[in-house]
């Protein structure tokens, strides 16, 4: 379904309970599956991605279809490789079959995994025969995907000889690797990371109950809304001031785009500071998920900034750089925004109605991938949302 969205006056006053972190939730589910003792995860993400990963981990079926969930596909590729004596077919949507998986598969094979490509070489779907993996030394290109590295790290403690992972080239999305190792440490798994080598010995995860914090990536769309508003007082609940999420840097970035943010008693309040001193160039190598909300904000504010570090965005739900450029052109003509089955396209273009008037967002349900109650939250902020058949 499509929708038309507008705001009557551009003044935003609301309190929002942000969704819990999908990135943390998905990592915890793999840790939980690998842990010998049970533990509870509180405030688990209710995103489509996390719900599907949880269902797949609990499924008795040997044919697993992750749909469009890239994280799930990558994490399950490693996890299923450790399930001794079981055979699996791991597949996904048509878009998933276009997303390269070779680097991860080749690394797992070096560690003793038995994996075959079912259709096109180097791409999903995969045929996986689970084994007791020996582990050992492996090299992986840091520029391809941090999720490949995380996928290997999560299973590392269960490998007979542990894992010595050498990262070659420039490491993208480094905060996500730090998040993975921080969560593993919470569950008793030690590591060393010296220069470009991460070492994890064979050891056991130690069970403990865990509460998931809210999602800083989801918060970025509210920072964008604040920046494009006339005035605002937006209270965001559930975020951690000492977060392990790299996207927390959104606070510093938007401070230079007219948005002041301050933590008070566990709530982050956004107000206008009308301070504009954003850099002319910005490297998003460590936080590429912030590209879409930042690019749309800057376009709405008529600011031109050169971005670098966007190499991984072509292999996401869509080619995000090309898709954003295309829809920015639509903003000035039809005002109908295509979302390319990408949740972040819908959420980054929606706040632009504050500058361009009523917009149509196609396929509004795409937000379910990470932020299912996004539209309800926008209504709390005074946005007017009406279904559109066309």
Residues annotated as catalytic are 289
How far is the CA of 175 from the CAs of 66, 168, 181, 349, in angstroms? 25, 17, 10, 25
Residue 244 CA to residue 365 CA, distance in Å, equals: 28
Which pairs count as long-range contacts for 44-48, CB under 8 Å and 24+ apart, including other chains? 44/20, 44/212, 45/19, 45/20, 45/21, 45/212, 45/215, 45/370, 46/19, 46/20, 46/372, 47/19, 47/22, 47/368, 47/369, 47/370, 47/371, 47/372, 48/368, 48/369, 48/370, 48/372
Q: Rounded distance, CA 269 to CA 261, Å?
A: 5
Which residues, at least 6 apart from 124, have a Cβ–Cβ distance to it below 8 Å?
73, 90, 91, 92, 96, 97, 99, 101
Give the Å distances, CA to CA, from 241 to 208, 215, 284.
22, 12, 21
């Amino acid at each position: 379904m499509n929708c038309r969205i507008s705001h009557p006056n551009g003044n935003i006053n609301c309190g929002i309970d942000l969704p819990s972190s999908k990135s943390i939730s998905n990592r915890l589910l793999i840790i939980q599956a690998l842990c010998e003792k049970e533990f509870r995860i509180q405030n688990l993400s209710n995103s489509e991605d996390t719900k599907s990963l949880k269902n797949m981990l609990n499924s008795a079926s040997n044919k697993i279809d992750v749909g469009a969930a890239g994280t799930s596909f990558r994490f399950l590729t490693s996890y299923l490789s450790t399930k001794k004596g079981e055979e699996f077919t791991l597949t996904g949507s048509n878009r998933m079959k276009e997303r390269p998986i070779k680097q991860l598969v080749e690394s797992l094979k070096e560690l003793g995994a038995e994996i075959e490509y079912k259709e096109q070489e180097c791409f999903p779907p995969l045929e996986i025969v689970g084994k007791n993996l020996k582990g050992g030394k492996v090299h992986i290109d840091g520029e391809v995907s941090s999720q490949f590295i995380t996928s290997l790290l999560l299973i590392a403690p269960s490998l007979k000889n542990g894992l010595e992972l050498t990262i070659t080239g420039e490491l993208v999305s480094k905060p996500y690797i730090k998040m993975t190792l921080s969560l593993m440490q919470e569950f008793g798994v030690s590591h060393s990371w010296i220069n470009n080598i991460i070492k994890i010995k064979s050891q056991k995860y130690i069970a403990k109950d865990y509460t998931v914090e809210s999602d800083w990536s989801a918060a970025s769309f509210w920072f964008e809304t604040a920046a494009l508003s006339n005035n605002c007082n937006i209270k965001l609940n559930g975020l951690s001031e000492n977060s392990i999420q790299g996207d927390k840097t959104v606070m510093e970035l938007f401070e230079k785009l007219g948005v002041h943010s301050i933590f008070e008693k566990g709530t982050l309040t956004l107000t206008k500071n009308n301070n504009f001193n954003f850099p002319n160039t910005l490297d998003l190598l460590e936080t590429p998920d912030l590209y879409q909300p930042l690019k749309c904000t800057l376009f709405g504010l008529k600011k031109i900034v050169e971005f670098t570090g966007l190499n991984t965005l072509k292999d996401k739900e869509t080619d995000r750089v090309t898709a954003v450029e295309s829809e920015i052109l639509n903003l000035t003509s039809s005002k109908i925004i295509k979302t390319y089955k990408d949740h972040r396209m819908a959420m980054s273009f929606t706040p632009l109605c504050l500058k361009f008037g009523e917009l149509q967002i196609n396929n509004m349900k795409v937000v379910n991938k990470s932020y299912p109650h996004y539209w309800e939250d926008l209504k709390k902020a005074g946005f007017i949302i009406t279904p559109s058949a066309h």
